[in-house]
Chains A and B, each alone.
Chain A
Amino acid sequence: MRSTFWENFATTLRESGSEGEKAYHRPHRPSRLLGSHGSSSVHDGALLSAKEVAPLDAAFMSAEPAAAPIETRLRDLRPTTSPVEFVARVVVCERREVTRKSDGSRRPLLSGLLSDGTATVRFTWWDPPREEIERGLVLRVVGAEVREFRGRPEVTFGWKTRVAPASPAELPRVDAEEIPFRTVQELRPSEEGFRLEVRVVRIAPKSVTVGTERRVVHEGLVADRTGAITLSSWSDFGLKAGEAVRIAGAYVRAFRSRPQLVLDERATVVRVEGNDLPDPAQLLESPPRSIADVEDEGGGAAVAVEGLVVGLLPPSGIVFRCPTCQRTVRSGICRVHGQVEGQPDLRARIVLDDGTGALTVNANRADTEKLWGVTLEEAEARLRSQPDPSLIEEQLLETLLGRRLRVRGAGTRDEFGVTLTPESIERVDIDLDAAAEELSARLGERR
């Protein structure tokens, strides 16, 4: 019986049944309201065809004379007492059960994200149909309740809400011209419903495990004249470095406390001329900025700074890492994997200071070896002859202190300041004659 209902649902969906027979899902409702129209054992948690729904509707209306829901776009959702109607696509969803405190019974719910192209909202669907609700399914929802959680609207489907499959054609038509343009600098986490014109600075596919699934994500960096932002694309748009593109339907999330632009199947990418967009080479070789500036802006995806090494932060020098997760091991114990045999590694947490501010540069083994001129193997040999790791750190500091470095990379800010994950660290030498000339000219100006 139930499978028939579900077939109804699916058929309606396939035949883009905005007209004709509609299948509604009505979750379980208290039997006292059901009256003579049927037993909950039949209709409990299943989809009803429109014919079956009709008499039930009358019962609803008489029991609860609510105002007719108004069809709205998700962008215009506001927390109200009156129910709303909308058409939206399931972006992600997850089925769970919650245990009632009162009697310990378990109540199923489905929650996730819905998007209609204008905005994405969280939804909670109490007593959902047993059939699987897949990502990408378009639903027409009538009589949902809108609430606000942490400043963002959320919708809840209760027993009064009717949910039916709909066709993608029913999704609100969003006029491309209507979507506002944003610059990279303006993007903030959890922002969406914007258009963006950017230059792809670099992009590369990467295979990741999401839950149990292997997926390919295209990671890279895009930029306009106001700044750069990392990009993570879960669909392949065939992006190539150097291209100028107009992106719509992307959203911004916070990744390692830095905004990241995320593209998925909802996004559209159009190649554009992009004459006013920066040249990728130019962006990767931009002159260094003051560290005070970088501190003010909280880092950035492509930061270049220059300063003197004024210290090292622990742990620097030889560290031991967990073979499974690469975390540093303390007293032979990994935070996650317990007792492990630590693998030796070389690193330097450099404090770089340019007189306006200071930040931390986390140099990896290759960079540390290059700066120090000592390889990990040599450092290990030293450690064997003088078994005090702090001496290694001391010798590393001795080499680095006061050295002028230019560092490029991605910066994040936390309560201790900005930390740079470097892409390149170069030693910089000053032309002393030119410097003397420039300085004496500046002194002479006022004589």
Chain B
Amino acid sequence: MSLREPAWRVTARELESSFEEEKGEGERPATYLLSPFGARMNRVLLAGNLSPAESIGRDESQSFWRARLSDPTGAVAVTAGSFQPRAMAQLRSASAPRPAIVVGKAHLFRGRDGVGYVSVRAEGVRSVAETDERAALAEIVRQTLDRLDLIERLEKAPGLTEEQLREGHLPSNWLRAARASRERYPNVDRVAFRRELANAVRRVGGESGPSRATLPTPPTVTVTRAPPPSPARAVPSVAERAEESLFLDQLDDLADVSADGYADLKEVLSRVSVQGLVGDRAETVLNRLEEEGVIEEPIVGKLRRA
């Protein structure tokens, strides 16, 4: 039985943080994007401020449009092509940012450098009143908190049986997603993510205005690297410095033994992940080191000391 995939209520931040995929079962398996916060997404529902769309289609007959949906936690690209004519018409219809609800499929694009970019292929887009957007956001935050609580329960008592966990009629797909999240993102800082939801709650209560896209829309989908998510950072902590030195040590070791004097990015990432510096955090360290001018990447995927 292939039931319709539920639309996971997620924030833009949660989508941005997701880069693990999983194939479903059956004859025509669906693809699921696993989030670090307990969602196993095929279909998603977001609410936020939707920017005017721009055409990114390369040829006239294959039109493709993209807009950016910003909520208080982040922003994510929303696309629609000729296979989603209704959503495309909706995306194109606006000339100014407006509050909107978007339903669509989560889509992970992996660039040649292995970096993933998440977008939403819209199935339904609707401009709504601000109160409707805030109401949808309230549900998104509530369900996100429910999922985080579930992961926390799993962490505290891994031995809980299916039945104990499902008390209170917890959907089985949530339980499955929570387990997968714990497994695939062992080192994610869920507490920090939880704190970020406070912005969204302020928006629900009407204390803050419509969200603005924190980032300009990138010019094309084929950008080689997403602009780093860089809210002005404070001085790195001791722990962060330790991560940096771990990263640099591995980079130096690899550069020493390689023929061309470069360290391969993937190898560095795999080495540091063995030492507990995984995924998102390794990426952050890499970005920070590049920004600070400690290392450079003159060839895509090849690192060296600047």
Contact = CB atoms under 8 A, between A and B. Distances in A.
B217 interface: no
Interface in B84-136: 86, 101, 103, 123-126, 128, 131-132, 134-136
A354 B140 CA distance: 10
A439 B169 contact: no
Given A356-B171, A356-B173, A432 B9 contact: no
Given A355-B143, A430-B138, A310 B205 contact: no
Contact of B5 (A358, A435, A440): A358
B223 interface: no
A440 B101 contact: no
Nearest to A417: B3
A436 B138 contact: yes
Interface in A399-416: 401-404, 415-416
A356 B9 CA distance: 9
Contact of B9 (A351, A355, A435, A439): A355
Contacts of B205: 432-433, 435-437, 440
Nearest to B132: A402
Contacts, number: 127
B138 A435 contact: yes
A311 B86 CA distance: 11
A290 interface: yes
Most buried by B among A296, A351, A401: A401
A357 B204 contact: no
A436 B201 CA distance: 6
A208 B206 CA distance: 56
Interface in B133-160: 134-136, 138-139, 141-143, 145
A166 interface: no
Interface string B200-224: 0110111100000000000000000
A308 B136 contact: yes
B198 interface: yes
A435 B3 CA distance: 31
A284 to B, nearest CB: 20
Nearest to A400: B126
Given A308-B45, A355-B8, A292 B201 contact: no
Contacts of B139: 308, 355, 430
Contact of A397 (B5, B86, B138, B207): B86
Interface of A is mostly: mixed
B117 to A, nearest CB: 24
A442 B126 CA distance: 29
B6 to A, nearest CB: 5
A121 to B, nearest CB: 33
B46 to A, nearest CB: 11
A310 B102 CA distance: 9
A398 interface: yes
B138 A432 contact: yes
A311 B124 contact: yes
Interface of A: 289-293, 295-296, 308, 310-311, 351, 353-358, 394, 397-398, 401-404, 415-417, 429-430, 432-433, 435-440, 442-443, 446
- Those 8 A-B pairs whose CB atoms lie nearest each other, nearest first: A436-B205, A292-B171, A402-B101, A435-B138, A356-B171, A430-B135, A401-B126, A358-B4
27 contacts: A290-B171, A292-B169, A296-B172, A308-B101, A310-B7, A310-B45, A311-B103, A351-B4, A355-B6, A356-B174, A357-B3, A358-B3, A358-B4, A402-B132, A416-B4, A417-B3, A432-B134, A432-B135, A432-B206, A435-B142, A435-B204, A438-B142, A440-B201, A440-B205, A443-B194, A443-B201, A446-B191
